[in-house]
Amino acid sequence: MGNLADKQIIVGVTGGIAAYKTAELVRQLRRAGAQVRVVMTAAAQAFVTPLSFQALSGHRVYCDMLDTEHESAMGHIELARWAHCLLIAPASADFIARIAHGHANDLLSTLCLATPADLFIAPAMNQQMWRNAAVQDNIDILKKRNLRILGPAEGEQACGDTGPGRMQEPFELLEALSLASASESPLQDCKVLITAGPTQEPIDPVRFISNRSSGKMGYALAQAMRDRGAQVVLVSGPVSRPPPPGIDVIAVRTAEEMYQAVIQALAGVNIFIGSAAVADYTPAQQYAEKIKKNGSVLELDLRPTKDILGSVATSAAPPFTVGFAAETTQLEKYARGKLENKQIDMIAANQVGTGRGGFYSDENSLLVIWKGGSQVFAMQNKVSLAQRLADLIVERYDEHKISGSL
Ligand SMILES: Cc1cc2nc3c(=O)[nH]c(=O)nc-3n(C[C@H](O)[C@H](O)[C@H](O)COP(=O)(O)O)c2cc1C
């Protein structure tokens, strides 16, 4: 991870309900050693007072371009040059439109035009606003100009809606700035193949056998590996989440399709992470027509599916292979067994069925085991858990390369 000590960061705050979260972000940036100057739009000041940001940043807050006092101290051009990076959090739909079209009608939009620094945008708005074609067109314009768009996250919103549009959490924004400030990406020139989500094993045209996996952990891991500079291919079972930007997604349905997709994508892969909850068994026969209920017992013949993880680990030129284990009992014993039986390099085990964490939850805890070591990650949000696990995978992968076992 990059070091934010003495990084000179402008945090731009626009008029959105998420502005209160930016106060915590400023606190965390200062804690990480960054020098922070806060610039607020007029609308932002209706949500959080400049005094709060002054106290948290330790400096006067910049609110007005036509301010003779500020212009005589650090004028807007000097401020634009001072910054190593400029983060707009939250970025309102209106502000995104203004910078997409080159407006300079207030201090913050003027700084965006005048700064040579890297620009980061953390959009935050109602899900319907975010989905609006005008907003999406403006985001596309910014992406083409290589501005970094952080999020938005999905979930429950202040207005009561659920969907995409929540500002990323302060720790995620801090992480993104920190990674961007790293002098080099640890996984540059690395190809990472990840499986995520459940599989669906068809019984007849309307029924299938599946499991509770939501794909949250695998998708968060794909983003974490991408943030570390890897070229990421994600083989995903059916999930209800949008593909992460900057990642090649191969959509599959059954365990057999996932196996075929993985084997085909395996050439040149340096790290393989099998986080999908692949069905262990599939119906031996798929009925062409819907099975009718006739009151008698129905028996299904199930046959084992192919072992994706084991096949990758024992392939001709195996990548550094990381597996996942979800267990309801004897977590460590089963995880160690899987590590050895499948000859993989690392296993991330999580306890399921305890009420907290596991499938569908936003949070999880992990026991990660490799030959010669282990580490416990306490219960936390899956996004931050994925970042911690990604750091550990990079560390162990480097170790393997050095020890010549790859
Ligand atoms: C209570 C309230 C909450 C708002 N929240 C948001 C929001 O989350 N995102 C957004 O894009 N606009 C939001 N708006 C609308 C913006 O404040 C408005 O578009 C404003 O002009 C943005 O100005 P600025 O971009 O200069 O800060 C909200 C308005 C109100 C009254």
DSSP 90-108: EE-HHHHHHHHTT--SSHH
- Does 204 contact ligand 1 (Cβ within 6 A)? no
pLDDT at 381: 81
- Which of 11, 13, 17, 139 gets mutated to test ligand 1 (max ligand atoms within 8 A of its CB)? 17
- Which residue's CA is the closest to the ligand 1 atom numbered 28? 16
The tokens of 382 are what?
């899956």
- Per the annotation, the verdict on 63 as an active-site residue is no
What would the pLDDT profile of 267-321 be if each residue is shown by its tens digit?
Answer: 999 999 999 999 999 999 999 999 999 889 999 999 999 999 999 999 999 999 9
Q: What angle do CA 390, 393, 396 make, to 5 degrees?
A: 150
Q: What percent of the chain has pLDDT over 90?
A: 68
DSSP code for 132: S
pLDDT at 244: 74
pLDDT at 383: 81
- Which residue's CA is the closest to the ligand 1 atom numbered 29? 16
Atom of ligand 1 nearest to the CA of 14: 27
The tokens of 184 are what?
């080099």
One-letter amino acid at 28 equals: Q
Q: Does residue 86 register a pLDDT over 90?
A: yes
Ligand 1 centre distance from Cα of residue 119 (Å): 20
The tokens of 152 are what?
């938005």
Q: Do the beta carbons of residue 359 and residue 277 sit within 8 Å?
A: yes
> Greater confidence, 301 or 240?
301
- Does 214 contact ligand 1 (Cβ within 6 A)? no
- At 252, give phi and psi (nearest 5°): -130, 170
What would the pLDDT profile of 186-237 be if each residue is shown by its tens digit?
Answer: 898 899 999 999 999 999 999 999 998 899 899 999 988 988 889 999 999 9
- Which residue's CA is the closest to the ligand 1 atom numbered 9? 125
- Does 15 contact ligand 1 (Cβ within 6 A)? yes
One-letter amino acid at 18 equals: A
Q: Do the beta carbons of residue 178 and residue 171 sit within 8 Å?
A: no
pLDDT at 155: 84
Beta strand spans in 257-385 (E):
271-274, 281-283, 302-304, 320-327, 346-351, 363-370, 373-381
pLDDT at 230: 92
- Which residue's CA is the closest to the ligand 1 atom numbered 22? 15
The angle, 0 to 180 degrees and rounded to 10, between the axes of the packed helices 170-181 and 216-227 is 30
- Does 39 contact ligand 1 (Cβ within 6 A)? no
- Does 107 contact ligand 1 (Cβ within 6 A)? no
One-letter amino acid at 177 equals: L
pLDDT at 33: 92
* Neighbour count for residue 330 (Cβ, 10 Å): 11
Please tell me which residue in 63, 112, 159, 190 is annotated as part of the active site.
159
Q: Do the beta carbons of residue 233 and residue 166 sit within 8 Å?
A: no
60 by DSSP, 3-state: which?
A: coil
- Does 138 contact ligand 1 (Cβ within 6 A)? no
Q: Which structural domains are found in the chain, ordered by start?
A: 8-181 (3.40.50.1950), 191-402 (3.40.50.10300)
Q: What angle do CA 292, 296, 299 make, to 5 degrees?
A: 80
C-alpha to C-alpha distance for 213 and 325, rounded to whole angstroms: 12
- Does 16 contact ligand 1 (Cβ within 6 A)? yes
